[in-house]
Structure 1
Amino acid sequence: MKPPEATDRLEFHPMTLDDLDDMAALLGDPVVMQYYPRTRDRDGARDWITWTHGLYESGGFGMWVVRLRATGEFVGDCGLTPQEIDGVTDVEVGYHVRAELQGHGYATEAAAACHAYARDVLGVERLIAIIHPDNVPSQRVAEKIGLAFERDTLSRDGDPVRVYATAF
């Protein structure tokens, strides 16, 4: 499983248990997880890494750790995951960026690289983003990488979400 190509500022790495401290801090941050049902504790972050490894094994892709090319500093995660919404499974592009690094275009840059990877490497026919209706910054990221608002619906948990999508 090869991650997306590096961008001007970012590089992607397969997620491992060596990333547990960074992932626990990221997924445990209430600012980062503001639009999710809950933050994740250390065990929840370990579960996230385990889930990601299962995706690597079953589909050859998943979430990747994102680091600054210049310094190796941990930025967050970004990647592609199969997600069921309204009874249909599509590949979703998802991203989390450390709170103190938000607003620098890292989510857009990483998501654009994953968008290209989905299209050019995986041959995905449709890419989506499932976003909380109040998460305007994430909606802007989706639009900047070429996804358009498709519909409002409910998540599997019954929470309101917006689906952004593009077909290749």
Structure 2
Amino acid sequence: MKIMETERLYLRELNMDDTQKLSNVLSDSESMQYYPEPFTLEKVEEWIKWNINNYKKYNHGLWAVVLKDEDRFIGDCGITMQEIEKETVPEIGFHIIKDYWNKGYATEAAMACMEHAFDVLHYPKVYSYTTIQNLPSQKVAEKIGMQKYKVFEKNGEKQLVQVAMNEKV
């Protein structure tokens, strides 16, 4: 089921048939350099199940990012509920297969997700957080209008939190 569409992409719910394609990014050591470790195939399956559960629980999660022209799966992007210093907040995250890096797809998908968070889900704010070293993800957050908010520690690493406010609320 398509959730949203942009100029070049559409986002749809993940399903178990996406396991192998999603492992192209989640099991890749370079793509996952800011995570404790790349995912095993079993962990990718758990990731998809977690998102399917999020769709039911919150009406959102990470969705498959698909190039419209080629109908090609290139990663995931969406909104998940994350705990940042004992507060559970909507967070925009993404993982794009490295063959598709630096083409604006993460920014395009993240912008669509932020608009969805504000216009459809009516969240007053959305967040993004990454390890301090993850400059590419921080740049995407800046490009969609997020501002630096604070730094906190998770899993023994400093994380930069960025935030955007819903101007319509």
Please state which band the TM-score falls in when normalised by the shorter chain.
over 0.9
Amino acid at match of 1:135: N
Q: Secondary structure at the match of 2:38?
A: coil
**1:11 aligned partner:** 10
Unaligned runs of 5+ in 1: none
**1:77 aligned partner:** 76
- Assess if the C-alpha contact under 8 Å between 2:2 and 2:11 holds in 1: no
Cα distance in 1 between the residues matched to 2:99 and 2:70? 16
- Assess if the C-alpha contact under 8 Å between 2:2 and 2:10 holds in 1: no
**Which structure has greater strand proportion?**
2
Deviations 1:18-55 (A, max 9, x none): 10111122100011101111110100000000100110
**2:107 aligned partner:** 108
Deviation at 1:158, TM superposition (A): 2.9
Q: Does 1:52 align with 2:51?
A: yes
- Assess if the C-alpha contact under 8 Å between 2:77 and 2:95 holds in 1: yes
- Assess if the C-alpha contact under 8 Å between 2:152 and 2:158 holds in 1: yes
Runs of 4+ more than 6 Å apart: none
Cα distance in 2 between the residues matched to 1:51 and 1:121? 22
**1:87 aligned partner:** 86
Cα distance in 2 between the residues matched to 1:9 and 1:16? 21
Amino acid at match of 2:104: G
**1:166 aligned partner:** 164
Cα distance in 2 between the residues matched to 1:31 and 1:100? 11
- Assess if the C-alpha contact under 8 Å between 2:77 and 2:110 holds in 1: yes
Cα distance in 1 between the residues matched to 2:71 and 2:156? 38
Deviation at 1:2, TM superposition (A): 6.0
Cα distance in 2 between the residues matched to 1:141 and 1:47? 26
Does the C-alpha gap of structure 1 residues 90 and 2 become closer, same or farther in structure 2, counting only changes over 3 Å? farther
Deviation at 1:162, TM superposition (A): 0.3
**2:96 aligned partner:** 97
Deviations 1:42-99 (A, max 9, x none): 0000000010011011011101000100001111000000000111111000000101
Cα distance in 2 between the residues matched to 1:160 and 1:21? 31
Unaligned runs of 5+ in 2: none
Deviation at 1:159, TM superposition (A): 2.0
Query: Matched residues, percent identical?
Result: 36
Aligned length: 166
- Assess if the C-alpha contact under 8 Å between 2:54 and 2:60 holds in 1: yes
- Assess if the C-alpha contact under 8 Å between 2:22 and 2:44 holds in 1: yes
**1:123 aligned partner:** 122
